[in-house]
Amino acid sequence: MPIDPFPDAEAQCTELAGLIRSRLKPGTLLVGIHSGGAWIARRLAELLPLPGEIGLIDVSFYRDDYGEKGLHPHVKPTSIPFDIENRPLILVDDVLYTGRTTRAAINELFDYGRPASVSLAVLADRGGRELPVYAEFCVWRVELDPREELILEPGADEKLRWRLEKHA
């Protein structure tokens, strides 16, 4: 099914912030999953009244397919500049698909402590879950062929945009 036109990712960030704002718990912190989730978390930090910095996490070493795929060529450092112990966290990603990236991120978060809760916020949920993971906050549900990949990236103007990549 062709997606034409793609939703405006910047407007989706604003909509996502609205969903989160109405259910914020005191002391909530954001942790964005590199790279799309990190971009969204930075944008949400501008739009939401949250304390402190955001955390950024790269799940490359925590993936259950690490042995098959090896190290991703663009590994980014994980940075959690706050104590997560007993804090409500919102884990932010661009696309929810199988749930494996979310599982890897939660595993890594628990290396830093035990949060009071972890909610998931995504711009797009494309279904196809392999694990019991759901996004508490989501603004776009889209069905794609398994050979299609939804990619969020900044344009030349630094605004976030969607594109579709087809794999053989």
pLDDT of residue 108: 95
Nearest to 37 by CA among 93, 99, 77: 93
Q: Cα–Cα distance between 99 and 63 in angstroms, integer?
A: 11
Question: Average pLDDT of 82-92?
Answer: 97
Residue 1 belongs to some domain of the structure: no
Is the pLDDT score of 1 beyond 90? no
Residue 4 belongs to some domain of the structure: no
Is the pLDDT score of 132 beyond 70? yes
Residue-averaged pLDDT of the chain: 91
Q: In this predicted structure, which of 14-23, 54-63, 79-88 has the lowest mean pLDDT?
A: 54-63
- Provide the CATH number for the domain around residue 58: 3.40.50.2020
Q: Which domain holds residue 66?
A: 9-166
Is the pLDDT score of 93 beyond 80? yes
Residue 2 belongs to some domain of the structure: no
Q: How many domains are there within the chain? A: 1
